[in-house]
Structure 1
Amino acid sequence: MTDSFSIHPLVDGGVERGREGFSGSTLMCRCTADPVEVSVQSEFLYNHLCGCTQCWKPEGALFSILAAAPRERVRVASNEQKLAVVDPNKLLHRYACRDCGVHMYGVIEDPEHVFHDFAFIHPELSRDPGWNPPTFAAFVSSVIESGFPPSRMSELRSRLRELGLEPYDCYSPELMDIIAAHAARRAGVLQEE
């Protein structure tokens, strides 16, 4: 690892603001011919950086950029035959282009799972600019599993904070509240509000 590191090319120079009224776009894989296109007819929700080793990220980046959209608002618009699940044994089925390897979206098939109603997408694949930027960094410690030196984690967390991206080793408090509320409803200890 060199003295510098790339968190992600779209945030290394600063986090840009989104465009008010952004309501969706088409995601495109990196193929120059016959790209996979995925239509997302929703704003991109809960945008964040993810340090896990499972998500697709650009070459040299420590983090991916990940967002959610309502599952029913995400559909493959073209070249669906090029998609395959990266690892069917994982909870999140990540659909990637067989040719370029880019992950297009991921879904959880278990209807009882808190995130079943979402599709997880990579906003940077959007054909249209203006999506909301990431607002936090999740699973930060996981970058160590990619080979990042543990001795530099303080430096990394400091840089994330400089960018306005609070580092967590789970999800943001907002998403953790959603997970806890879902569990409480299933256990019968929390009624609908």
Structure 2
Amino acid sequence: MNVRLLHPSIENDVHKHDSDNHGGILVCKCPDRPVKVKVSGGIAHNHACGCTKCWKPAGAAFSIVAVAPTENVSVIENGDKLAVVDETTLIQRYACKACGTHMHGPVEREHAFQGLSFIHPELFENDSWPQPTFAAFVSSAIEGGVDPSEMSEIRARFKDLGLEPYDCLSPALMDYVATWTAKKRGALG
């Protein structure tokens, strides 16, 4: 199979470590004065993402991203190096101005994910983070430069790795968003 690099953390084997993750320290890629972000408590919904907004390591077609409660995420070193990548997006992705690594992305506007921050678990100082459980926005990788002819092989590779590929979020997360929307509109109590 000649599929481009999905992500270094999952390319040869899905990252299989601490399913009872208790957080840790995320570190940017700067060799000098790296930005450090503390995540107190566990992370959830770890997955591969093909969207064009998420930070990806060089050569990777997909990111690895999870969420944590925003109240559990704090910048502990070199926060002066952080800036929001695009203030118009729902997820306010804070990236290091020197190396470009996205460190955390809180959702502050009214949304089903308000109060959560998106993080990239492979940035933890140690390997104690849970494995990805699905692949989201897979077809969006085309917008990032993946040739459409590669998509069947990419989906097959994800399935081989035990990561169900979706062209949106997982069904459970889509149900969560739809439930939030229905309650907001008064369709559900």
Residue 121 of structure 1 pairs with residue 126 of structure 2: no
Shift of 1:46: 0.2
Match of 1:86 in 2: 85
- CA deviation map 1:118-176 (0-9, x unaligned): 00000000012121111000000011112211112111100100000100010001111
Match of 1:21 in 2: 20
Relative to the length of structure 1, the TM-score reads 0.94
Match of 1:162 in 2: 160
Gaps of at least 5 residues in structure 1 are none
In the TM superposition, 1:96-111 aligns within 5 A as 96-110=95-109
With over 3 angstroms needed to count, the CA separation of the structure-2 counterparts of 1:189 and 1:158, relative to structure 1, is same
Asked if the contact 2:26/2:103 (under 8 Å) is kept, the reply is yes
Aligned-residue RMSD, C-alpha:
1.3
Asked if the contact 2:108/2:115 (under 8 Å) is kept, the reply is no
Q: How far apart, in 2, do the equivalents of 1:185 and 1:89 lie?
A: 25
- Determine helix, strand or coil for the equivalent of 1:92: coil
Match of 2:35 in 1: 36
Match among 125, 144, 147 for residue 145 of structure 2: 147
Q: How far apart, in 1, do the equivalents of 2:54 and 2:154 lie?
A: 19
- CA deviation map 1:21-62 (0-9, x unaligned): 321100000111111100001211000011011111001001
With over 3 angstroms needed to count, the CA separation of the structure-2 counterparts of 1:20 and 1:168, relative to structure 1, is closer
Match of 1:12 in 2: 11
Q: How far apart, in 2, do the equivalents of 1:4 and 1:151 lie?
A: 10
Q: How far apart, in 1, do the equivalents of 2:15 and 2:28 lie?
A: 22
- Determine helix, strand or coil for the equivalent of 2:153: helix
- Determine helix, strand or coil for the equivalent of 1:75: strand
Match of 1:61 in 2: 60
Q: How far apart, in 1, do the equivalents of 2:19 and 2:60 lie?
A: 28
- Determine helix, strand or coil for the equivalent of 2:156: helix
Runs of 4+, deviation exceeding 3 Å: none
- Determine helix, strand or coil for the equivalent of 1:32: coil
Shift of 1:20: 4.6
Return the letter of the residue paired with 2:24: S
Gaps of at least 5 residues in structure 2 are none
Match of 1:74 in 2: 73
Q: How far apart, in 2, do the equivalents of 1:40 and 1:74 lie?
A: 5
Match of 2:49 in 1: 50
Which deviates more from structure 2 when the two are superposed, residues 96-105 or residues 143-152?
143-152
Equivalenced residues, count: 189
Shift of 1:89: 1.8
- Determine helix, strand or coil for the equivalent of 2:92: strand
Return the letter of the residue paired with 1:50: C
- CA deviation map 1:71-124 (0-9, x unaligned): 1000111111100001112221110000111000111221x2111110000000
